[in-house]
Amino acid sequence: MKTYTQTITKFLTAAVLSLSLPVMAQSTLDHNKMGVATLPDMTDGEIRKIDKANSKITIKHGEIKHMDMPPMSMVFNVKDKAILDKVQVGEKIQFVVIQDAGKMVITDIRPGK
């Protein structure tokens, strides 16, 4: 049983490596072409509340993969108040969130799919 597990683990590791390497190479190439830094993943969400005075926004968000966070409703800070001018309560969006000095800060919001 131990040998079987080791074989499977080896196989899976090899499979994952062979799959992810070309993808990583491809995305690096695209980013270079566009001349932008690598961004964290976009997260799906729906806007629940906008608090422009305090630069905060409440979003019912999907899984935030790069932060290991399951779907939930929560309040985020926004990096720039102007981000809140482009959006409305009830709107489906995609957003970029980063960790900044222990706070989760939204740096970009785009229309959802």
What is the Rg, in whole angstroms, of the alpha carbon atoms belonging to the chain? Answer: 19
- Single out the segment in contact with Cu ion by CB under 5 A; choices: 11-19, 30-38, 66-74, 77-85: 66-74
CA-to-CA distance for 51 and 70, rounded, in angstroms? 23
Size of site (CB under 5 A) for Cu ion:
3
Pick 3 or 100: Cβ nearer Cu ion: 100
Q: Which of 72, 75, 82, 89 binds Cu ion (CB under 5 A)?
A: 72
> Are 72 and 51 in contact, with CB atoms under 8 Å apart?
no
Q: Which two tokens stand for residue 110?
A: 């785009």
Q: Which two tokens stand for residue 59?
A: 């979003």
> Are 104 and 67 in contact, with CB atoms under 8 Å apart?
yes
Does 67 participate in binding Cu ion (rule CB under 5 A)? no
Pick 6 or 101: Cβ nearer Cu ion: 101
Q: Which of 42, 50, 74, 98 binds Cu ion (CB under 5 A)?
A: 74
Residues that bind Cu ion (CB under 5 A): 69, 72, 74
